[in-house]
Amino acid sequence: MTSRALVCRCAAAILAVTACQRPLKPGDPLRGLSAAERARFDQGKGVFDSVFTPETGLGPLFNANACAECHEDPVAGGTGDEVERHATAFHEVVPAGVRQCDELAAFGGPVYQNHVTPALHTALGIDSEPVPPVATAVAARTIPDVFGFGLLDAVPDSEILAYADPDDRNHDGISGRPNRFFDGRLGRFGRKALVPTLREFNDGAFAAEQGITTPASPTEETVAGTPIPAGTDPAPDPELNEQQAALADAFVRLLAPPAPLKMSGEARQGSEVFRRVGCANCHIPTLTTGDSPIAALRHKQVAAYTDLLLHDMGPDLGDICLGLATPTEFRTEPLMGLHLMPRFLHDGRAKTPEEAIEQHGGEAARSRDLFHALPPGERAALVAFLKTL
């Protein structure tokens, strides 16, 4: 056999293997994990699925008793039907000596837990954490799926910042700008892009969502700023050790992004319309990851449909401030996995993608108006495309 024939046979074999790969299902790990990485994914799912009780660390304030209680649909890592309360104080006119946005961290914010343990209920007579009167807005927050978040984490800051145009110097009406955490690092996770890394997003969720302390966040949430009463938290801190927290992080990090559905001809037409009306100016179709110790995350393209930047979405959608984000600024929501979502926008107010588009304002108003002006067939095509993501 000549060397050329050998190369052709090898190429054909590789193509055949690739073609035979079954599509990834929600909840599957990324392709190409090592055996050790796959083992950590499986072990991490165990932590993600763990149901906590007050005796094992739950609460005293909490939104859910397990990661998978909220991130459950259609599988662990997916979305859920819970709605959280986040509250902050935004000063239109900035008083001397304070930031424009107060995340109310000194008053238990910005996440106000919807549930308390029986012990805290007995001690304080409350059923949820009260939002302090200093709050200027209370936001509803739905549960995002976390599929593909490891890839988003691996996108270099430089790529995100390359899309920023805070002063709209290209005069396209789009002026994405970065949010930053309190230590100055670029944010990317959360509806307002406050959180810089996936590990922090996950560790913070144990504390803020389940009342589970970790080595990274070793003290309990306060009750609107007041330390929890003695005797209401029987579990010693940290309630989750570093190994368990790292495994939960590994599970989330290694979850594959949802596989897009097969596109019909109409959806392919919609893909072109998506670009033509300007959706893709913020919902950047593809981001590229940088270096990573995990090969499955290294130098990969991810069809995220986001720029991970803040954009003004207009007053109708506005709610809380967070970090540098004003009440009307939101991070461009990743559209990957949209076909799995039962409702849309940060607070779930839109029941369909069409409704979500129609409620875009601010920087997105022009694209919304162009969508309105489309012939019915092109509008349907655009929606058909979205439903494949």
Partner 1 sequence: MVRFVLASLLCVVGPTLAASQQAPHDSVRGAVRLVDTKNRALEVTTGVGMALRVVRLQVPATVPVTTTPGRDQLALSDLKPGDVVRVTFGARPSGWVAYTIERIGRMTSGVEPRPSP
Q: What residues line the site for partner 1 (CB under 8 A)? A: 86, 97-99, 102-103, 105-106, 109-111, 180, 182-186, 189-190, 194-195, 200-205, 207-208, 216-219, 221-222, 225-227, 323-324
Least separation in angstroms between CB 129 and partner 1: 13
Least separation in angstroms between CB 322 and partner 1: 9
Least separation in angstroms between CB 219 and partner 1: 4
Least separation in angstroms between CB 368 and partner 1: 29
Least separation in angstroms between CB 83 and partner 1: 15
Residue 155 or residue 186: which is nearer to partner 1 going by CB?
Answer: 186
What the block records as the tokens of 368 is 């919304």
Residue 102 or residue 378: which is nearer to partner 1 going by CB?
Answer: 102
Q: Are 238 and 214 in contact (CB under 8 A)?
A: yes
Residue 200 or residue 239: which is nearer to partner 1 going by CB?
Answer: 200
Of 112, 113, 109, 91, nearest in space to 100 by CA: 91
Least separation in angstroms between CB 293 and partner 1: 21
Look up residue 269 and give its amino acid. Q
Residue 59 or residue 204: which is nearer to partner 1 going by CB?
Answer: 204
Residue 219 or residue 241: which is nearer to partner 1 going by CB?
Answer: 219
